[in-house]
């Protein structure tokens, strides 16, 4: 028990000091629980895939090896978009993905990944941990035999890579773009054609012309995929994903079979991984942006205000319609919108005002 307390204390101390989360590579206990984690990301993909690896290693280390978690990238055990079913059915004990992929299972899941013109990463964490969001998320997933937990956030994303300039809202018409979740429905109503496909297929689809545009994450991941080789224009801001939460989904029966201390270790490891991902993206995105602009001469452009205003108007309608679909969606929507309305005045006085002052 003292050893486990020491490991937990060391991990929390590193978080408090802002250090990058590290975990011991060697554990001494024989694993009693052997878990599989399936992900929606390519194996070892920077940020997303590596966060899954970190989460698995952290659980294993903090448990003193009593839980051994093995990670399977997309298609290694199940395809990317079958993670939800695989964990619900017991093929794997954990999954690592984004909740907006599961709108075919329950449309309200989209509220827990990214809402167009919604909450930033900091605001999303605040709603989930201290605004009732996590309780609602667990209530939504309970009928599927799943327990959700946050395991990362990429922060404000980019609007995406385009093979043609976007000068007005008319340029969205006929646009074939990879964009999931609520953002995809907004694009459809703006005249475009949303496509949902795994990240590993995006480069060839842009290259072949099967896609005219794609959003993925931001400079860090986009540089790794080499999108600058097949698309000319890189647009911002990521109106569709202002604070994209990544999820760990846990099979409820497997979780309930754990003793109480191991349950807390699993959930605490998810919180630690959540903080770590946002920290990494904040650091890596600025480095990757410098490479894209100065080495690869990428054209980084803002979406015109006209386009953003049109997308905002459509987004409000799409989100309101989602909220009206069923009582659970209505309850979640009311919670997140109330929190957004409450947090906006403080965000304006703090983050927004400071960033403006820093630019003077």
pLDDT, one tens digit per residue, over 305-321 is 999 999 999 999 999 99
If one compares 12 and 21, the residue with the highest pLDDT of the two is 21
pLDDT value, residue 27: 47
**What CATH class is the domain 157-240+299-325?**
alpha beta
CA gap 149, 156 in Å, rounded: 20
Domain with CATH 3.40.190.10 in the chain: 157-240+299-325
Residue 205 in contact with residue 197, Cβ under 8 Å?
yes
Asked whether residue 11 carries a pLDDT value surpassing 50, the answer given is: no
Nearest to 114 by CA among 131, 97, 130: 97
Work out the average pLDDT over 102-131.
94
Nearest to 336 by CA among 171, 157, 118: 118
Asked whether residue 26 carries a pLDDT value surpassing 50, the answer given is: no
If one compares 43 and 263, the residue with the highest pLDDT of the two is 263
Domain 2-153+242-282 belongs to what topology?
D-Maltodextrin-Binding Protein; domain 2 (3.40.190)
**CA-angle at 40, arms to 321 and 328, nearest 5°:** 30
If one compares 199 and 229, the residue with the highest pLDDT of the two is 229
Asked whether residue 302 carries a pLDDT value surpassing 90, the answer given is: yes
Q: From the centroid of its chain, how far is CA 158?
A: 13
Domain with CATH 3.40.190.170 in the chain: 2-153+242-282
Instruction: Give the whole-number percent of the chain exceeding pLDDT 70.
Output: 92
Band (42; pLDDT cuts 50, 70, 90):
confident
Nearest to 106 by CA among 148, 145, 144: 144
Asked whether residue 64 carries a pLDDT value surpassing 70, the answer given is: yes
pLDDT value, residue 199: 82
Band (43; pLDDT cuts 50, 70, 90):
confident
Q: From the centroid of its chain, how far is CA 174?
A: 27
pLDDT value, residue 23: 55
If one compares 84 and 22, the residue with the highest pLDDT of the two is 84
Band (21; pLDDT cuts 50, 70, 90):
low
The first and second tokens of residue 355, run together, are 């960033």
Band (283; pLDDT cuts 50, 70, 90):
very high
Asked whether residue 13 carries a pLDDT value surpassing 70, the answer given is: no
pLDDT in tens, 124-134: 999 999 999 99
Q: Mean pLDDT, the chain, as a whole number?
A: 91
Mean pLDDT lowest for which of 14-28, 99-113, 329-343? Answer: 14-28
Work out the average pLDDT over 136-153.
98
Task: Tell me the CA distances in angstroms from 304 to 117, 119, 122, 319, one per residue in order.
Answer: 15, 21, 26, 22
pLDDT in tens, 213-256: 999 999 999 999 999 999 999 999 999 999 999 999 999 999 99
Asked whether residue 8 carries a pLDDT value surpassing 70, the answer given is: no
**CA-angle at 49, arms to 94 and 303, nearest 5°:** 120
């Amino acid at each position: 028990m003292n050893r486990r307390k020491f490991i937990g204390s060391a991990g929390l101390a590193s978080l408090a000091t802002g250090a990058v989360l590290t975990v011991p590579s060697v554990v001494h206990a024989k694993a009693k629980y052997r878990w599989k984690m399936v992900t929606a990301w390519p194996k070892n993909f920077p940020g997303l895939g590596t966060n899954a690896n970190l989460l698995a290693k952290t659980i294993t280390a903090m448990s003193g090896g009593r839980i051994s978690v093995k990670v399977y990238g997309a298609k290694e055990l199940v395809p990317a978009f079958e993670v939800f079913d695989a964990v619900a059915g017991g093929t794997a004990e954990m999954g690592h993905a984004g909740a907006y992929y599961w709108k075919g299972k329950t449309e309200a899941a989209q509220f827990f990944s990214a809402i167009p013109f919604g909450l930033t990463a900091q605001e999303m964490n605040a709603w989930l941990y201290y605004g009732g969001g996590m309780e609602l998320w667990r209530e939504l997933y309970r009928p599927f035999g799943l327990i959700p937990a946050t395991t990362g956030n990429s922060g404000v994303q980019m609007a995406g890579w385009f093979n043609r300039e976007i000068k007005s809202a008319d340029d969205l018409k006929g646009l074939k773009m990879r964009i999931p979740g609520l953002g995809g429905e907004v694009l459809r109503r703006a005249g475009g054609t949303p496509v949902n496909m795994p990240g590993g297929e995006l480069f060839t689809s842009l290259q072949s012309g099967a896609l005219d545009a794609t959003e993925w994450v931001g400079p860090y991941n986009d540089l790794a995929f080499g999108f600058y080789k097949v698309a000319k224009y890189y647009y911002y801001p990521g109106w569709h994903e202002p604070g994209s939460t990544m999820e760990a989904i846990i099979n409820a029966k497997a979780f309930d079979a754990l003793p109480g201390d191991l349950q807390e270790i699993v959930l605490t490891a998810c919180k630690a991984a959540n903080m770590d991902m946002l920290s990494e993206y904040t650091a890596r995105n600025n480095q990757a942006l410098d490479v894209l602009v100065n080495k690869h001469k990428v054209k980084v452009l803002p979406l015109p205000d006209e386009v953003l205003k049109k997308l905002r108007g459509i987004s409000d309608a799409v989100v309101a319609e989602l909220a009206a679909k069923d009582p659970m969606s209505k309850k979640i929507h009311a919670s997140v919108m109330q929190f957004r309305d409450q947090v906006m005045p403080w965000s304006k006085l703090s983050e927004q005002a400071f960033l403006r002052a820093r630019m003077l």
